[in-house]
Amino acid sequence: MAIVLNTLLIILTAIAIPGLINRTRAVLAGRKGVPFVQHLRNVKVLLSKGTVYSTTTTALFKIAPAIYLGAAIVAALMIPVADLYPLISFKGDVICFAYTLALARVIIIMAAMDTGSSFEGMGAAREALYGALIEPALMIGFATLALFCGYTSFADIFEYEQSFDLHLTIVMLLTAFLFLKIAFVESGRVPVDDPRTHLELTMIHEVMCLDYSGIDMGMIHIAGWLKTACFSMIAANAVAATGCFHWWFAVPFAVLLTGLSVGIVESTQARNKLSRNTTFIVTISALAALIFFIGYLLKLNINI
Amino acid sequence: MFYISLLLALTLLVATLFLAPLRWKMWVATSATALVAIAASIPAISVLSGDSEMEIMRITSPFFGAETLHMDSLSALFVLIICIAGIATMLYSRGYLEHYLDKKSSAHISLHYTALVVLVASMILVVVSSGGFSFLFAWELMTIASFLLILFDAQRQQVLRAALAYLIMMHIGFVLLVAGFAGIYSACGSGNFANLAMCFSEGNTLPIFILFLLGFGMKAGLFPMHVWLPEAHPAAPSHVSAIMSGVMIKTGVYGIIRTLWYVVEPQELHTIGLIILAMGIVTGLWGVILAAVQNDAKRLLAYSSIENIGVIFIGLGISTLAHAAGNSTVATIALCGALLHTINHSFFKSLLFFGAGNIYSKMHTTLLDRFGGVAKHMPITAILFFIATVAICALPPLNGFVGEFLIYLGMLDSIREGANTIYAAAGLLALSLIGGIVVLAFTKLYSTIFLGSPRDHHVAESTEVDNLRIAAMAIPTVCIILIGLFPQFAINIIESVAEQFHPQASSILEGYVTPNLWKISLTVWMLILVITLLYVVKSRAMKKRTISQGPTWGCGFTATNIRMQYTGESFSEGLESIATSLTQNTIEGRAVGKSEIFPSSHGYNIRHKDKIDRLFAAWWMELLHIINKRIMRLRTGKINNYILFALLFLIAIFILSLFNLI
């Protein structure tokens, strides 16, 4: 029962976040904006359409969206909602989660390169580099959780229930911040990437899917939502674990946290110059290492 | 007696191979290898399936005392991967050498096959020898056989240079090993590995261990002794690269694991663990960054082998550190991870080199930017290469993931238990960065060769390779898929090895690792199921809809051409801009300047060389050359001069002994 609820809540989060981002942006810009469920309607239209394939592409291009979405679905099935229980859970599933998402990245990079387009190659090259640089942040983030909670699977980490502990709270809040940052990078949002830019030269994620249309494009969109939901749910779980909150806290918190922060950042900030992105992402990894070190010192009970 | 029978067998082999008709040589060599492989794998399988270690033969050797050939589970594991890679290489070689059969003399081909069989046999001897003289003998035989194999295309200048560099470096390593064994011999009166225990207990652990680490590290390609790999692999024929990179460099790993076995004192284990971990981290990162910036498929693969050795050493280092801290769970898991990664790498790396051989034999180049769209002309090679690529990127659902998962799990467990936290975190950081950059390197390799539009007209003329080569490539592919889908059974193979190291290993594996691997297997199956389901649903939905074909979307630009496509160089440009301090770039020609509005034709060629290479072009090399030239004056070629030298030598000995100096 808990597993079914967990899965449904993840799907709900995945659907709600893009809607809230759009609404936040509309309100901040003073526009009337699109309705909350517009992105669902868009994908519905895409899923019912035919498609165009480039003559340059091979079979890999046609299978890639299925692998991309499949990997995102399996990764999402590993994420618990607060103290609920996910479908897939074992010791070390944090590693499996990271590498399943890496599979998604590899296949979409290859699909982009398959078209032989210079623009898509550009996006693929950037995605490969940024993905490589964000990986250490992700793993060290998991290591911090493992260090502090003593477990190596999401379900056990976030089930950690105790009375209020200041050290735990500090580390968990910092980790939540880290995962929010990773969510920004992984889902291709400002300041790393701007999904709404009109210039292909400056895109990263969007430019890789230029040659996809119809049902394939729909699948890629859904996978993107799931990926964002995974990272925001991890961040929300970390916060929920500090006060032993349950799923009724984690779901709205995940949606609000990512929806509002992405919406606000996209309305108020410009995206980075591309050459700054590497620094930005390496800084996140450095931040992760710093958080790990703080966690280590707190664990040793050193007064700082 | 042993050496005499060995020589007899060798003579017989050479005679049969040289006498066999040209097209039959490969089958003679294959059957010889198959004989060796069957003879070696029967005891290996029985040892792995539960028998205790097995003594095959007792030999008396001229130096270092009596030795035995014996098979324990560690040897058995390596024997198995040597046999599998050996057979695959033999089958592959026929198709690859077909093209050379008319060009090279019959003796040349015979020599090549002899060396190939000797290489396989000597690798097996290396891992079953108990140490001392027979070990060094087999080790040297292995070096010479592989030297001859690299030398296949000897009329090319760079092949000659690479082979000589290899020979020289291997002999520096050999001297270090001889010194190591002499160390054991002087301490214990026999050069067997088993005596290391006694030798280490007397307190001089570190110096002897470091001698062995450097000697074996030279073969394994540990930083900074890796420079021979990226030179030798592009020079050697592909099947030779496959067996050298897949299994021969693993004999170095074998040697280090074997030596590590006998270190017991926790304080020393801790120091050694740190050294191994640090070397692993540096080797892995150096290898992967250099791999990502290469523009030659075989150089890229060679650097990736260095990186994988780094990953194996990270696992070994974590295991040793945990062993020192008395944490046998982490020690077992990390050791299993390192061993499994050793096996896995032998499969996917040989598959990758076979794939590179396929494209080389059709297009006669391995420069990445000459390819593009090969998948359309060589679909089977493309699929097999794709499998190897996914496996080497350590992605589920294939075998690479399982090995790295265990190493990661060891590190996370080490962190969560609060032992060696900082070291484990350093390993974790390095391994995750390596994992990320491997993705960059291999998406670059795969996409520039197999995907996109052809950059050269040779691509359009290429066709799929012969079935025998595909069959040879199927052997590692099957292993890759089986280990990936059923890791819970694959772990049984290394259980007895882990048990040899840690007595509680089998209970740890059964209680902790195997249940987890079951879950991984289920996850992997679920991944495959979900993907298949999505694809089937999509294909069904598409049946009723219009699917149109068109050119790639040029973003409004209508005159796109192939030359605008992203090349391998441009793909890794972002990483290069970060890692400039690691590489030394040689540039030929001139890039198009920003102020040139109507650029004329430009030639631009950039190569990224290893900074470590500079060590071998430094002043001391010049000095060696000069000294060498002076000494060469003694070589007059006149017999009377040589007799004079002998006389002078005798007189010198006589005078020295008069003064009791010797």
Q: Are the Cβ atoms of B541 and A94 closer than 8 angstroms?
A: no
Rounded Cα gap, residues A284 and B438, in angstroms: 20
Q: Which chain A residues are Cβ-neighbours of B413 within 8 angstroms? A: 152
Residue B513 lies in a domain: yes
Find, in chain B, the residue whose alpha carbon is nearest to that of A57: B452
Q: What is the mean pLDDT of residues B195-199?
A: 81
Q: Are the Cβ atoms of B574 and A69 closer than 8 angstroms?
A: no
Choose among A102, A135, A211: nearest Cβ to B433.
A135
- Element of type H or E holding B143: helix B132-150
Tens of pLDDT, residue by residue over B221-235, are: 998 888 889 889 988
ipTM: 0.95
The distance from CA A162 to its chain's CA centroid, rounded to whole angstroms, is 28
The residue out of B264, B291, B323 marking a domain boundary is: B264
| Residues A208, A108 contacting (CB under 8 angstroms) | yes
- Regarding whether B282 and B260 lie in a shared domain, the answer is no
The distance from CA B139 to its chain's CA centroid, rounded to whole angstroms, is 16
- Regarding whether B339 and B211 lie in a shared domain, the answer is no
Return all residues near B77 (Cβ < 8 A) that are at least 6 apart: B44, B48, B339, B343, B493, B494, B497
Helix extents (H) in B195-327:
196-201, 205-220, 228-235, 238-243, 250-260, 266-293, 297-324
pLDDT band at B350 (very low <50, low <70, confident <90, very high): very high
Question: How much is the mean pLDDT over chain B?
Answer: 88
Rounded Cα gap, residues B125 and B6, in angstroms: 11
- Regarding whether B95 and B212 lie in a shared domain, the answer is yes
- Element of type H or E holding B460: helix B457-461
- Regarding whether B19 and B103 lie in a shared domain, the answer is yes
Q: Are the Cβ atoms of A136 and B432 closer than 8 angstroms?
A: yes
| Angle, helices B25-48/B73-98, rounded to nearest 10 degrees | 160
Choose among B446, B552, B572: nearest Cβ to A56.
B552
φ, ψ for residue A301, nearest 5 deg: 65, 35
| Residues B73, B500 contacting (CB under 8 angstroms) | yes
pLDDT band at B659 (very low <50, low <70, confident <90, very high): confident
- Regarding whether B147 and B55 lie in a shared domain, the answer is yes
As beta bridge partners, residue B97 has none
| Closest by Cα among A198, A255, A269 to A15 | A255
User: What global pTM score does this model have?
Assistant: 0.93
| Residues B410, B322 contacting (CB under 8 angstroms) | yes
Find, in chain A, the residue whose alpha carbon is nearest to that of B438: A132
Choose among A96, A121, A136: nearest Cβ to B396.
A96
**DSSP string covering B178-220, please?**
HHHHHHHHHHHSS-BGGGHHHHHHTT-HHHHHHHHHHHHHHHH
- Regarding whether B383 and B492 lie in a shared domain, the answer is yes
Q: Would you give the DSSP letter of residue B296?
A: B
Tokens of A107: 């296949």
Find, in chain A, the residue whose alpha carbon is nearest to that of B430: A136
Query: Minimum mean pLDDT among A116-120, B185-189, B350-354: which range?
Result: B185-189
Return all residues near B89 (Cβ < 8 A) that are at least 6 apart: B116, B120, B239, B240, B242, B243, B350, B472
Tens of pLDDT, residue by residue over B519-564, are: 999 999 999 999 999 999 999 999 888 889 988 888 888 777 888 8
Choose among A58, A116, A126: nearest Cβ to B574.
A126
The residue out of B264, B283, B302 marking a domain boundary is: B264
Q: Which chain A residues are Cβ-neighbours of B428 within 8 angstroms? A: 139-140, 143
pLDDT at B480: 95
φ, ψ for residue A209, nearest 5 deg: -105, 20
pLDDT band at B310 (very low <50, low <70, confident <90, very high): very high
- Regarding whether B377 and B234 lie in a shared domain, the answer is no
Distance of residue B623 Cα from the nearest chain A Cα, in angstroms: 43
Tens of pLDDT, residue by residue over B255-291, are: 999 998 888 888 889 999 999 999 999 999 999 999 9
Residue B189 region by backbone torsions, left for phi larger than 0, else alpha for psi between -120 and 50, else beta:
left
Choose among B394, B548, B565: nearest Cβ to A116.
B565
| Closest by Cα among A34, A86, A53 to A247 | A86
Is beta strand B547-550 parallel, antiparallel or unpaired with respect to A51-54?
parallel
- Regarding whether B281 and B237 lie in a shared domain, the answer is no
Torsion of CA B269, B271, B273, B278, to 10 degrees: -170
- Regarding whether B25 and B160 lie in a shared domain, the answer is yes
| Residues B402, B394 contacting (CB under 8 angstroms) | no
Rounded Cα gap, residues B649 and A157, in angstroms: 76
| Residues A69, A46 contacting (CB under 8 angstroms) | no
Mutate to test the interface with A, among B555, B558, B580 (most CBs of A within 10 A): B555
Residue B437 lies in a domain: yes
Tens of pLDDT, residue by residue over B624-643, are: 888 888 888 888 778 888 88
Rounded Cα gap, residues B420 and A100, in angstroms: 28
Containing structural domain, residue B634: 623-658
- Regarding whether B248 and B286 lie in a shared domain, the answer is no
pLDDT band at B457 (very low <50, low <70, confident <90, very high): confident
- pLDDT (tens, 9 = 90+) of chain A, 304 residues, equals 889 999 999 999 999 999 999 999 999 999 998 999 999 999 999 999 989 999 999 999 999 999 999 999 999 999 999 888 999 999 999 999 999 999 999 999 999 999 988 889 999 999 999 999 999 999 999 999 999 888 899 988 888 666 678 888 889 999 999 999 999 999 888 888 888 877 777 788 888 988 999 999 999 999 999 999 999 999 999 998 887 788 888 999 999 999 999 999 999 988 888 888 899 999 999 999 999 999 888 888 765 5
Return all residues near B399 (Cβ < 8 A) that are at least 6 apart: B340, B344, B347, B348, B391, B479, B480, B481, B482, B483, B484, B487, B490
pLDDT at B588: 85
Q: Are the Cβ atoms of A117 and B446 closer than 8 angstroms?
A: no
- Regarding whether B213 and B319 lie in a shared domain, the answer is no
Share of residues in chain B with pLDDT > 90 (%): 46
Residue B343 lies in a domain: yes
| Residues B567, B367 contacting (CB under 8 angstroms) | no
Q: Are the Cβ atoms of A56 and B435 closer than 8 angstroms?
A: no
Residue B552 lies in a domain: no
Q: How many CA atoms lie within 13 A of B453 on its CB side?
A: 18
φ, ψ for residue B150, nearest 5 deg: -60, -35
Residue B506 lies in a domain: yes
Residue B592 lies in a domain: no
Q: Which chain B residues are Cβ-neighbours of A216 within 8 angstroms? A: 538
Residue B344 lies in a domain: yes
Residue B578 lies in a domain: no
Q: Is B294 helix (H, G, I), strand (E, B) or coil?
A: coil
Total domains, chain B: 3
Is beta strand B583-589 parallel, antiparallel or unpaired with respect to B604-610?
antiparallel
Choose among A57, A121, A131: nearest Cβ to B571.
A121
Q: Which chain B residues are Cβ-neighbours of A95 within 8 angstroms? A: 404-405, 408-409, 412
Residue B637 region by backbone torsions, left for phi larger than 0, else alpha for psi between -120 and 50, else beta:
left
Q: Are the Cβ atoms of A121 and B428 closer than 8 angstroms?
A: no
pLDDT at B617: 61
The residue out of B195, B230, B264 marking a domain boundary is: B264
Rounded Cα gap, residues A238 and A252, in angstroms: 14
Q: Is B54 helix (H, G, I), strand (E, B) or coil?
A: strand
Residue B14: Cβ-neighbour burial (10 angstroms; 0-12, 13-18, 19+): middle
Q: Which chain A residues are Cβ-neighbours of B373 within 8 angstroms? A: 56, 116
- Regarding whether B496 and B386 lie in a shared domain, the answer is yes
Find, in chain A, the residue whose alpha carbon is nearest to that of B543: A50
